[in-house]
């Protein structure tokens, strides 16, 4: 009797485990989970939280692709939880230089409720009251570890490891002096970045004169989406 009972127990446990694994709604463990809230001076319009992959060069946000979306829970404050289960699409993956670690960036956003994926690229120019994005953070995905003393380490603010990270986007509010610019250029040349005396894309001066800097933070930092505001993060370029 003991042997029969033990065998039945094993069979039942196996069936339960199999049933959990074949649940059609189960997506696996998320690669990254972000918490946030939506701030509004009035009643919230119908909207959802979303993660939008940025397909264009940084710091632009005018070429976007929907990654995932999640409900906004009404309350004071209104909150949301975003979970990503997959790496970024190939169209979002970039590198600062040939052979450098490949990365992709995304922004948390509020989007109109039920918006179709093909409507997402038009949201920045549509002035929709249900759209805004977090200009103060980028969600970064790295395909490999960032080497120390590299351009990517300087750009990110740290030699981050493979996987998902949250970085703050800090506006450069004061233009570099001539001495500061030359010191920055010398540092990037030491890291293997070319300097031809111009600020052409990919040169040391183009990175030094960028209107933003990045600063890594923790994934549990709260994302804030402010309806009616899409500025912040990047300041106007220095003359």
The reported pTM is 0.85
Q: What is the 3-state secondary structure (H, E, C) of 105-142?
A: EEEEEEEECCCCHHHHHHHHHHCCCCCEECCCEEEEEE
Per DSSP, the three-state class of 18 is helix
| Residue 149, C-beta contacts closer than 8 angstroms, at least 6 positions apart | 190, 191
Q: What number is the average pLDDT over the span 202-224?
A: 97
As to burial, measured by CB atoms within 10 angstroms (0-12 exposed, 13-18 middle, 19+ buried), residue 1 is: exposed
Q: What is the 3-state secondary structure (H, E, C) of 20-49?
A: HHCCCCCCCCCCEEEEEEEECCCCCCCEEE
As to burial, measured by CB atoms within 10 angstroms (0-12 exposed, 13-18 middle, 19+ buried), residue 149 is: exposed
Pick from 99, 34, 43, 41: nearest CA to 68: 34
| Residue 163, C-beta contacts closer than 8 angstroms, at least 6 positions apart | 31, 32, 141, 142
Alpha-carbon distance 204 to 93, whole Å?
22
Alpha-carbon distance 37 to 221, whole Å?
11
Q: What number is the average pLDDT over the span 179-203?
A: 97
pLDDT confidence of 110, banded at 50, 70, 90? Answer: very high
Residue 205 has pLDDT above 60, yes or no: yes
What was the pLDDT predicted at 42? 83
What was the pLDDT predicted at 74? 87
Q: Which two tokens stand for residue 151?
A: 């351009």
158-175: pLDDT as tens digits: 999 999 999 999 999 889
The mean pLDDT of the chain is: 88
| Residue 215, C-beta contacts closer than 8 angstroms, at least 6 positions apart | 157, 167, 168, 170
* Residues 124, 111 contacting (CB under 8 angstroms): no
Q: What number is the average pLDDT over the span 199-216?
A: 96
Residue 231 has pLDDT above 90, yes or no: no
71-99: pLDDT as tens digits: 999 888 999 999 999 999 999 999 999 99
Alpha-carbon distance 68 to 86, whole Å?
10
Between 169 and 4, the higher pLDDT residue: 169
pLDDT confidence of 232, banded at 50, 70, 90? Answer: low
128-149: pLDDT as tens digits: 889 999 999 999 999 999 999 9
Q: How far is CA 163 from the centre of its chain?
A: 11
Q: How many other β-carbons are positioned within 10 Å of the β-carbon of residue 214?
A: 22
């Amino acid at each position: 009797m003991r042997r029969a009972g033990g065998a039945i127990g094993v069979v039942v446990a196996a069936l339960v485990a199999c049933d959990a694994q074949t649940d059609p709604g189960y997506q696996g463990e998320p690669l990254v989970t972000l918490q946030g809230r939506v701030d509004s001076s009035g009643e919230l319009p119908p909207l959802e939280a979303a993660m939008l992959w940025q397909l264009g060069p940084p710091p632009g946000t005018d070429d976007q692709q929907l990654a995932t979306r999640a409900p906004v829970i009404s309350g004071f404050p209104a909150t949301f939880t975003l979970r990503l289960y997959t790496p970024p699409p190939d169209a979002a993956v970039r590198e600062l230089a040939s052979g450098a670690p490949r990365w992709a960036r995304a922004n948390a956003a509020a989007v109109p409720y039920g918006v179709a994926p093909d409507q997402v690229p038009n949201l920045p120019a549509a002035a929709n009251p249900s759209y805004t994005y977090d200009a103060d953070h980028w969600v970064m995905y790295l395909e490999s570890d960032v080497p120390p003393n590299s351009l990517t380490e300087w750009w990110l603010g740290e030699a981050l490891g493979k996987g998902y990270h949250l970085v703050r986007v800090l506006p450069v509010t004061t233009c570099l002096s001539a001495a500061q610019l030359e010191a920055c250029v010398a540092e990037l040349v030491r890291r293997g970045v070319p300097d031809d005396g111009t600020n052409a894309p990919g040169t040391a001066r183009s990175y030094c004169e960028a209107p933003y800097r990045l600063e890594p933070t923790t994934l549990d930092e709260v994302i804030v989406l402010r309806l009616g505001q899409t500025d912040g993060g990047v300041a106007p370029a220095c003359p």
